[in-house]
Amino acid sequence: MGFSLSMASKNVLYGFGNVLFNGFEFDIKEEDKKQKIPITFKHFMPISSWKKDEASGSVIDKETNDKYDDDSCSTIRVKCAATFAATPIAQSIGLLLNLANRIGKLFLFAHLWAPSSESYNFKARITEMGKDLFRVVSTPFILLGLLFASAYGATISPHNGRKLYATLERSAYAGGYHRFILREKNDLQTALIGLCFQPEPKAHLFGGKIGEKNAW
């Protein structure tokens, strides 16, 4: 089981940089958008049914058909408990940086004039502007939701708590490509500390091997 405090520190700093300097949703190429996990109302449901997918070594949320790591419930509980302990500090900093990003863009009306490799789409830009305004207003509730989700996963429902935490992180930090690179990686993942909580995760916070059961 991989467990590296230096890797965790690097990943958290990487995340902080991303939420402060990331770009716009409308600047993501169409072919790359296919890699993203969209957020629907079903992702916020606190109770879902789950099934194992032996072929992929994952568990599937029957409501969304998203695949998550097939960690044991005991491991997910411990991860959620650790996440609950880290959330007040790490997520408070991350959300403040996120606020600086969103408020700066809104104040400068950057959504309307920022250059993009894609053709100009006024409706898409206004939509993204509205999403950022909603993220600013909902920030306190997101922090409370992250605390609830991690506590819920640690005590009552590991899979559902993990899913809720991942959904809240994606909804809070969604944006363009990572612009602040501390490692050789350039993906569309938008988690800050719950990296392996995401559907089809690409990284563990502590550097564990993806696909390895109960890795950190």
For residue 38, the one-letter residue type is: P
Q: What sections of the chain are H helices per DSSP?
A: 5-21, 30-33, 73-107, 110-113, 122-155, 158-173
For residue 123, the one-letter residue type is: K
pLDDT per residue over 126-152, tens digit each?
999 999 999 999 999 999 999 999 999
The CA distance from 208 to 211, in Å, is 9
Range with top average pLDDT, 28-32, 38-42, 158-162:
158-162
pLDDT per residue over 71-99, tens digit each?
999 999 999 999 999 999 999 999 999 99
CB atoms within 10 A of CB 144: 11
For residue 165, the one-letter residue type is: Y
- Give which of 192, 20, 15 is closest to 102, Cα–Cα: 20
Mean pLDDT of 103-110: 97
Look at the block and give the residue holding tokens 């411990």: 78
Sign of the Cα pseudo-torsion (132, 136, 142, 143, in order): positive
Distance (Å) of CA 44 to CA 3, 48, 91, 166, 180: 30, 10, 19, 10, 29
The CA distance from 6 to 11, in Å, is 9
Cβ 145 vs Cβ 164: under 8 Å: yes
The CA distance from 74 to 46, in Å, is 19
What's the mean per-residue pLDDT of the chain? 89
